[in-house]
Chain A
Amino acid sequence: MTERPWTLAGTARSVRASGIELVRTYGIVLGLVVLVAAVASQNSVFVSHNNLLNISSQYAPAAVMAAGLTFVLISGGIDLSIGANFNLCAVVAAAIGQHHDPGLAFLAAMALGTGIGILNALIVTITGIDSFIATLGVSFVLTSISQILTGNQAYYVEREDFLSLGAGSWHTIPYAGMVMVGTFLLFGLVLARGAYGQKIYAVGGNREASRLGGLRVQVLYGSTFVLVGFCCGLAGILNGSQLGTAQYNIDPRILFEVVTMVVLGRTSLLGGYGAMWKTVVGWAFIAAIGNSFNILSVNSNYQSLVKGLVLIGALAIDVYVRRLARSGST
Chain B
Amino acid sequence: MTEHETAAGAAPAAVRAVGIAKSFTGVHALRGVDFELGAGELHGLVGENGAGKSTLAKIISGACSADEGTLWAGDAQLSTGNPREHAAAGIAMVYQEPKLVAGLPAADNVFLGKMPRRGPFIARRAATQRLRQIAEEVGIEIDPMAIAGDLTLAKQRMLDVIRALDSGAEILIMDEPSAALGPVERDSLYRTIELLRERKVTILYISHDLEEVVRLSDRITVMRDGSLVATKLTQEWTPRALVEAMLGRDFVVPTRHKSEGRAGRDEEVLRVEGLSVPGALESVDLSIRAGEVLGIAGLVGSGRSTLLRALAGAEPKASGQLLLDGKEVPWPKTVQRAQRYGIGFSPEDRRRYGLVLGLTGAMNVALTNLHAVSVASFVEWRRLFRYAAQLVRPLAFDPARLKTTAAFLSGGNQQKLVVGRALGVQPKILLLDEATAGIDVGAKAEMFAIIDRLAAEGLSILFASSELEEVVEISDRILVLGRGRSLGTLEGEDCTVRDILEVVFGVEQETDAA
Residues of A within 8 A of B (CB): 4-6, 8, 11-12, 14-16, 18, 189, 193-196, 198-199, 201-202, 205-206, 208-216, 272-273, 328-330
The CA of A213 and the CA of B352, in the complex, are separated in Å by 12
Q: B385 → chain A, closest Cβ, in Å?
A: 8
Residues of A within 8 A of B45 (CB): none
Is the CB of B8 closer than 8 A to any CB of chain A?
no
Q: How far is the CA of A233 from the CA of B179 in the complex (A)?
A: 53
Q: B405 an interface residue at 8 Å Cβ cutoff?
A: yes
Residue pair B403, A196 in contact (C-beta under 8 Å): no
B355 in the interface, Cβ–Cβ < 8 Å?
A: yes
Does A14 lie within 8 Å of B403, measured CB to CB?
yes
Known A194-B377, A214-B368: A209·B353 in contact at CB below 8 Å: yes
Contacts of B358 in A (CB 8 A): 8, 201, 205, 272-273
Residues of chain A within 8 A (CB-CB) of B379 are 193-195, 198
- A selection of 8 A-B contacts at a CB cut-off of 8 Å is A14-B403, A15-B408, A201-B358, A211-B335, A214-B339, A214-B368, A214-B425, A216-B336
B356 adjacent to A205 (CB under 8 Å): yes
B378 touches A208 (CB 8 A): no
**Which B residues, 313 to 360, have Cβ-Cβ distances below 8 Å to chain A?**
314, 335-336, 339, 345, 347, 352-360
Question: In the assembly, what is the distance between CA of A91 and CA of B402, in Å?
Answer: 50
Q: How far apart sit A251 and B55, CA to CA, in the bound complex (Å)?
A: 54
Verify A328–B25 contact, CB threshold 8 A.
Answer: yes
Closest chain B residue, CB of each to CB of A325: B25
Least CB distance from A218 to B in Å reads 10
**A272 with B356, Cβ < 8 A, contacts A212-B345, A216-B336 known:** yes
CB 8 Å contact bits of B366-388 with A (1 = contact, 0 = none)? 01101100100111010011000
Q: Is B24 an interface residue (CB 8 A)?
A: yes
Would you give the shortest CB distance from A74 to chain B, in whole angstroms? 10
Q: Assess whether B360 is in contact with A6, with CB atoms less than 8 Å apart.
A: yes
- Closest CB-CB distance, B1 to chain A, in whole Å? 30
B421 within 8 Å of A by Cβ?
A: yes
Identify A206's interface contact among B356, B405, B408, CB under 8 A. B356
Closest-by-CB residue of A relative to B55 is A330
Q: Given A6-B362, A210-B356, A329-B25, are A196 and B377 also a contact pair (CB < 8 Å)?
A: yes
Asked whether, in the complex, the Cβ of A205 is within 8 Å of the Cβ of B367, the reply is no
Residues of A within 8 A of B374 (CB): 194-195
**Top 7 closest A-B pairs, CB basis?**
A205-B356, A195-B370, A214-B368, A214-B335, A206-B356, A195-B374, A11-B405
Contact of A205 among B352, B359, B384 (CB under 8 A): B359
Q: Could you tell me the distance between the alpha carbons of A210 and B335 in the complex, rounded to whole angstroms? A: 10
Cα of A201 to Cα of B366 in the assembled complex, Å: 13
Q: Which residue of A lies closest to B348 (CB)?
A: A212
Across the interface, do A11 and B370 meet the contact criterion of CB distance under 8 Å?
Answer: no
Closest CB of chain B to A3's CB: distance in Å?
Answer: 10
Assuming A12-B405, A195-B378, A213-B367, is B356 touching A201 (CB within 8 A)? yes
In the complex the two chains form, is B352's CB within 8 Å of A209's CB? yes
Other-chain contact of B24, A199, A210, A212, A330 (Cβ < 8 Å): A330
For A5, what are the chain B residues with a Cβ–Cβ distance below 8 Å? 403
A194 contacts which of B363, B378, B425 (Cβ < 8 Å)?
B378
Using a CB–CB cutoff of 8 Å, the interface residues on chain B facing chain A are 24-25, 309, 312, 314, 335-336, 339, 345, 347, 352-360, 362-363, 367-368, 370-371, 374, 377-379, 381, 384-385, 403-405, 408, 421, 425
* Docked complex Cα distance between A8 and B403 (Å): 10
A216: B residues at CB distance < 8 A: 336
CB distance from A323 to the nearest CB of B (A): 14
A3 to B404, CA, bound (A): 14
B347 proximity list for chain A (CB < 8 A): 209, 212
Q: How far is the CB of B135 from chain A (nearest CB, A)?
A: 32
| Chain A residues whose C-beta falls within 8 Å of the C-beta of B368 in the assembled complex | 213-215
Report B-chain residues with C-beta under 8 Å of the C-beta of A202: 356, 359, 363, 367
Q: Are B378 and A212 in contact (CB under 8 A)?
A: no
With a CB–CB cut-off of 8 A, which chain B residues contact A12? 405
Among the interface residues A11, A15, A189, which one has the most CB atoms of the partner chain B within 10 A? A11
**Residues of A contacting B377 in the complex (Cβ-Cβ under 8 angstroms):** 194-196
Query: Which residues does chain B contribute within 8 Å of A273, judged by CB atoms?
Result: 358
* CA distance in complex: A6, B363 (Å): 9
CA distance A251 to B262 in the complex (A): 71
> If A14-B403, A214-B425 touch, does A198 touch B370 (CB 8 Å cutoff)?
yes
| Residue from A195, A206, A215 in contact with B355 in the complex, judged by beta carbons closer than 8 Å | A206
Chain A residues lying within 8 Å of B425, measured Cβ to Cβ, are 214
User: B335 and A212: CB pair below 8 A?
Assistant: yes
Q: A209 to B378, Cβ gap below 8 A? A: no
List of A residues within 8 angstroms of B353 by Cβ? 208-209, 212
Determine if B404 and A205 form an interchain contact, defined as CB atoms under 8 angstroms apart.
no
Q: Please, which residues of chain B bring their CB within 8 A of the CB of A6?
A: 360, 362-363, 381, 384-385, 403
Residues of B within 8 A of A189 (CB): 378
Q: 18 more A-B contacts (CB under 8 A) besides A202-B367, A213-B368?
A: A6-B360, A6-B381, A8-B359, A11-B360, A11-B404, A14-B404, A193-B378, A194-B378, A195-B378, A198-B379, A205-B356, A205-B357, A208-B352, A210-B367, A212-B335, A212-B353, A214-B336, A215-B367
Cross-chain contact A199 with B367 (CB below 8 angstroms): yes
Closest to A272 in B: B358
A206 to B353, CA, bound (A): 8
Distance, CA A11 to CA B356, complexed state (A): 14
Chain A residue numbers with a CB within 8 Å of B314 are 211-212
Complex Cα distance, B379 from A115, in Å, reads 29
Closest residue on chain B to residue A205 by CB atoms: B356
B202 CB to closest chain A CB (Å) equals 27
B335 to chain A: which residues have CB within 8 Å?
Answer: 211-214
| CB–CB A212/B403 < 8 A | no
A202 CA to B371 CA, complexed, in Å: 15
Beta-carbon nearest neighbor of B58 in chain A: A330
The answer to whether A4 touches B381, judged by C-beta atoms less than 8 angstroms apart, is yes
* B354 nearest in chain A by CB position: A209
Give CA–CA (A4, B382) in the complex, Å: 11
Contact status B370-A18, CB under 8 Å: no
- Give CA–CA (A202, B335) in the complex, Å: 16
Which chain A positions have C-beta within 8 A of B363? 6, 198, 202
B355 contact set on A, CB distance < 8 A: 206, 209
Q: Shortest beta-carbon distance, B61 to chain A, in Å?
A: 15
